[in-house]
Structure formats: structure tokens, C-alpha cells
Amino acid sequence: MTDYDDRLEAYAETAASALPPGAFWQGFRDYDGTGRDLLRAKAQTWLDVDLAAERLIAESQPARASEMLVDHETQVGLPDCCFQTLNVNIEDRRTAVLTRYRAQGGQSPEYFIDLAKSLGYDVSITESRPFVCGLSEIGGDSSGAAPVARFDTIGADRFSWKVVVPEPRVTWFRCGSGVLGQDALATINRADDLECLLTRYQPAQQDLTVSYRGIPEPIIDIDLRNGLPAGWQFSRAGTATYIDAAGLPALASIDEIRIKHDPSSLRTVGATIEGPQTNSVRRTNGFSFPWYSAGGTPLVVDHSTLGSVVIQHVSGGNLDVDNTQGASGDLITVSGYVHRDSPSFSMFFNSFAKSAGFSFSTGSPGFNFRILEDYGDVRRVAVTFMRGDGSMRLRANDGCIGGGFQTEVGAFATSLIPTGGGPVTRSLDNLKIPLSSVVGWQAGASFESTVSGWTAEGIGSTGQCLFAIDDGSNNNSIVLQRWYTDNKFYLTIGNGGIFTNVSVSAPIIGKHHLEVTVHIETNNFWFSMSVDDGTPVTYGPNASTTIPAGLTTIFLGGRSDGLRAWFGEIEKFKLRFLSTPA
């Protein structure tokens, strides 16, 4: 019998001894009596309360807590921006709690060394001090003993200090404390938690540098806001528009990557990646920047009051729209550049049998009016509605001030597509790098990649792929995409044409800033996502597949078949191995 059985029997015996005398109760007193099992069933509740009280002693200590670990985390303010608890092994969670409990504060090197040690890192620190004539030696002078050293420096370097992390922290699964089915056999961690705490607590007058030894540096580390990086290939079969560094609409030539800026702050947003889309408003190219002209008649540009980005329609009239665009029931998005005081527009179907009126300056209920770009008095705005039967007409009322109009099938507006005598389709943006040109790439090795950027404001009739690594056919692939039916992000692994959704996020609806880290390791796949610079949330892990073979190319904002384009902006991309490949 186990200890639990012995204690259960003791409770049952205690209950039996309290029963009144008489033959009726003898079956409860006998060990194998007919009533004994009833007493044992009742005794289980008493024993469970007894055991819970005993566990409470262990649970009150963070180093041994399991059931009450969440309570300890709440007491010390976890999770926070430096440490997340979702899908983190229990030993690391306990360590984080103990670090908060034991922290007493300090600014000395020894304090930061002890802080690192409490998280499982043995670090050394190098401080700088001013070079003093007559005391310091030309050519360099240092003092101090490991793990703290001090160097004489000149200039701004005197305010710097460096923390050296010699190797990653490895947390092994431990019987009795690890959780089966949740904790990996071994977890290898870059010191992200330590970096965050050092940044939070560092002396205000000093600049921190964290140096790693034994942890592989990224083999890819690019910022697309600075333009197309060396080695990367970009293609687009036609021209396309974007907001330039001056905050004004501009036209990118064939195969020119578009680096978008915010028109209000002039902040660099990222590289625009879009799929094919068609504008059915004809003759939008009748001006220096392609603006709308009704029936081929140029519209008047009023530079004195509106600047160079808006034109004026002096009398009402129908915009020249391809009336066959879409089918009844399709979502149609209409966008354009308008003045705040511009009169309304009207959309008609089937010779006025069905009509819808809306204002491009104030919107209208039921049409999902939104502002896409704001130039002050001038805005690029959009509305979305469901198409009716028959022909389609868009009418600008008298005194309309606007230009760059666009109608397109779908629930969201894309960048302006200049047109001539007929509808025009913008070509796909394709951004990729062959793995054969990536120095240090080794097939089959475990890695992590981080990508940041902006989602599209909506989702179309297919998924939107943030990044992919595939073999040119998608049969062997690693794909992170937002899916069109539920707006959730899926990490999908393809192995020989068999596809596994290893991790799935919560829905991400609308336009948001994302930073996503994807962990690729055989039998350990997951990704974490921060939305609008919020706390990252981890989805996974999943151990149901392996790293695919035969991968040849990395794509940002798409995949090899040209489908499922991102329709947004991408800022940064980083990829590093989890260990140094042989």
C-alpha cells in the first residue's frame, strides 16, 4: 500500500470507531466489510484537505511552489515587460520570482553581477573611467580583478559599461519539479530577461552594452527602413505609389522597393509589400502625380490653399469607373484624397435602383469610414460597402475637392494605383534572399527569427504571409501568416506536402504594429507576438513535426508561389541559430 492508502485507511478507521455499537454497523468496522468503502469515499475529502494543508507549507516557498506559483508571480508583479510566464518552464518562473523577492537594489558592479547570477548567468563587467594625465597610461591602462575591470578612456566612452555573458542559460528538466508535457528536456535562453533588467536598473548617466560569447550572433540582421539590404532581391513588374521622405505621394519605378513614411510625422514606417490589386477608376493619371480627371477633363489644382496634393472638381459629375468590377455581394472599397470640407459622394447600382450616399470627410453609418493618411486639411480616406446588382457608378457632387480616387474589390484600401483609359492592376511586390547567399546558413539547424512591421487594415479572400522559408514549391516550408477566415496568425510547417499548423494566435483585427519571434526546433515549434508594443504573448509549443528539408529561399511579405502577399509594411528581420552550427 502507498502512503496515501495508509492515511486514507486511518481516516476510515477513525470514522468507524466513532460509530455506535451494534451488529448493523459491523460491516463499516470490518476492513473488508460492505460499508467500509463508503467510509473510505467519505474519508478521501478529509484526506485531500489534510494533504492540501501540508502542500501549503511547500507552496508558501517560491522555490517549491507549483499550484501557488501564479500567486507568488502576482505578488511580485509578474509577468511584466522583462519576463513572461506563458509557456515558460516552471524552474525559470520560480527563478524570476525569487529574483524579485531577493532584490535589494544597488548601482555597483557587484550588484548587477549578483542580479545576473540569480537569473542563472555568470557575467563579467567592464567599466570605463576618465583618462587622467599623469596617472593613466597612453596606450591603455586597466585595473581591477575579474569579474570587474576598469579601463581608462577618453570622450563619450567614459560613460559606457559592458556586461559580458559568456554562454546561454540552459535550464534542464528536473524530475519532481518539471511539468511533463509542458517543459522541454532542456531550454536554451538568450539573456533577454537579463538585458531587460539591466536596462531598467542601470545608472542613468551610463550607456549599457551587452556582449555575448558562446551565443551565436544573427546571420541576418536587417532594417528595411534604411532601404534594400545587400544580397536581398526585390522585384515588381510595374510602377507603384508610396509616401516619400517628404511626406508626399510618389511613384516608385519598376523593381524599386517602396520605403513608406508617415505623412504627418515623416517617420519611416517600413518597406511596403503588397499583392496584385486593380483600380477601376479610369484616368487617374492626368496630373504630375496621377490624380482623377472626370471624363478626361483635367481637374483644377489649387496650390494656394491646399498645397500640391489635392485637386478641385468645379462641378458635379460621375467618376469614370469600370462598372463591371466585382459581383453582387462582393465588398468594394472606395478611397481617395479629399479636403475636410468636401461635399459628399454617391454610389449607384443598376441605374439608381439601389444607391448609397456617403461623405468622404465625415463618413456615413454602415460604410466603415476611416482615415488612411492625414495631411492636415487633406486626408486620404476610405469606405467599404457591399456591391449591389447591375452597373456601378460613383458620383462626385458639386464643389467636390479631391483626387486620386480608387475602387477595388476587398475589405481594405491599398496604395493608389494610377490608371489611364482603363482599369490598371498593380503588380506583386516580391522580396527574398536565396539561402545559398546567406553566410553561415546550415540546413536543418534550429533557429529563431524575429520580424516586425505593420499589418494591413483588413484581410482579403486569402491569407497574408508575413514571412516564409520554402523550397520553391511550398511543399517543404515554414510559413507565418494571418489567415483570412479568422484573422489569426498561423505558424505552418510543410514537410513533403504534409502541412501542420503548429501554433495559432488570437485574432489580430485591423492595422497594428507587430513584433513576432518564431522558434524553429525539431519537436519544439512556437512563436511569440507583441501587438502595438504591448506585452509579448507566446503561442505553442508544438512537438508534432520536424524542421523541413530542402529549404532554398527566405521571403518577406510573401512566399515562392506569389500568393498570400502581406499588404502592409515590414521594418526589421533577424535570424540566428540557437547554437553554433558545426
Q: For the chain, give the mean pLDDT.
A: 78
- Could you tell me what percent of the chain has a pLDDT over 90? 27
Quickly count: other Cβ atoms within 10 Å of residue 147's Cβ.
18
Domain ranges of the chain: 3-59, 73-212, 218-275+427-582, 277-426
Backbone angles phi, psi at 217, to 5 degrees: -75, 160
Quickly count: other Cβ atoms within 10 Å of residue 415's Cβ.
22
Output the nine-digit C-alpha cell for 176: 519532481
pLDDT at 362: 55
Q: Which of 211, 210, 168 is nearest to 448 (CA)?
A: 168
Distance between CA atoms of residues 9 and 39, nearest Å: 9
Torsion sign across C-alpha atoms 286, 292, 295, 298: negative
CB of 213 closer than 8 Å to CB of 123: no
Angle value at C-alpha 394, between 389 and 399, nearest 5 degrees: 155
Better pLDDT: 407 or 350 = 407
Q: How are strands ordered across the β-sheet holding 160-165?
A: 142-143, 148-153, 124-130, 160-165, 207-212
Angle value at C-alpha 87, between 83 and 91, nearest 5 degrees: 70
Backbone angles phi, psi at 143, to 5 degrees: -150, 170
Q: Which of 519, 516, 515 is nearest to 547 (CA)?
A: 519
Interacting residues of 209 by C-beta distance below 8 A, sequence separation 6+: 160, 161, 162, 163
Backbone angles phi, psi at 98, to 5 degrees: -65, -35
pLDDT at 220: 93
Q: What is the mean predicted confidence (pLDDT) over 304-308?
A: 31
pTM, 2 dp: 0.63
Residue 456: HSE in the Cβ half-sphere, 13 Å Cα cutoff: 29
Better pLDDT: 303 or 497 = 497
Q: What is the pLDDT of residues 74-98, one digit of tens each?
A: 888 888 777 776 667 788 888 888 8
**Residue 414 DSSP label:** -
Q: What is the pLDDT of residues 517-554, one digit of tens each?
A: 999 988 889 898 989 988 788 888 888 899 999 999 99
Distance between CA atoms of residues 248 and 260, nearest Å: 10
Peptide bond into 147 cis (omega under 30): yes
- Torsion of Cα atoms, 57 then 59 then 64 then 70, to 10°: -170
Residue 352 has pLDDT above 50, yes or no: no
pLDDT at 349: 47
CB of 258 closer than 8 Å to CB of 238: no
CB of 77 closer than 8 Å to CB of 66: no
pLDDT at 285: 55
Peptide bond into 130 cis (omega under 30): no
For every residue of 258-318, DSSP letters joined together read -EEE-TTT--EEEEEE---EEE-B----SSSS----BTTBPPEE-HHHHGGG-EE--S-EE
Q: With respect to CATH, is domain 277-426 assigned 2.60.120?
A: yes
pLDDT at 436: 92
Q: How far is CA 380 from CA 175, 336, 414, 449, 455, in A?
A: 60, 5, 11, 35, 18
Distance between CA atoms of residues 262 and 373, nearest Å: 8
Q: Which residues pair with 411 in a beta bridge?
A: none
Q: How far is CA 539 from CA 230, 239, 312, 519, 526, in A?
A: 33, 38, 51, 10, 6
Distance between CA atoms of residues 83 and 165, nearest Å: 18
Output the nine-digit C-alpha cell for 500: 501542420
Confidence of residue 490 (pLDDT cuts 50, 70, 90): very high
Output the nine-digit C-alpha cell for 261: 513614411
Q: What is the mean predicted confidence (pLDDT) over 142-155?
A: 52
- Radius of gyration in angstroms for the set of CA atoms belonging to the chain, rounded to a whole number: 32
Better pLDDT: 312 or 49 = 49
Q: With respect to CATH, is domain 218-275+427-582 assigned 2.102.10.10?
A: no
Please give the helix or strand (H or E) that residue 379 lies within, else none.
Answer: strand 378-386
H runs (alpha helix) in 279-395: 303-306
Better pLDDT: 554 or 133 = 554
Q: Which residues pair with 495 in a beta bridge?
A: 498
Is-same-fold flag (218-275+427-582; 277-426)? yes
Q: How many residues does the chain have?
A: 582
Q: Which residues pair with 568 in a beta bridge?
A: 273
Distance between CA atoms of residues 454 and 557, nearest Å: 11
Output the nine-digit C-alpha cell for 62: 517560491
3-state helix, strand, coil in the chain (%, to 5): 20, 35, 45
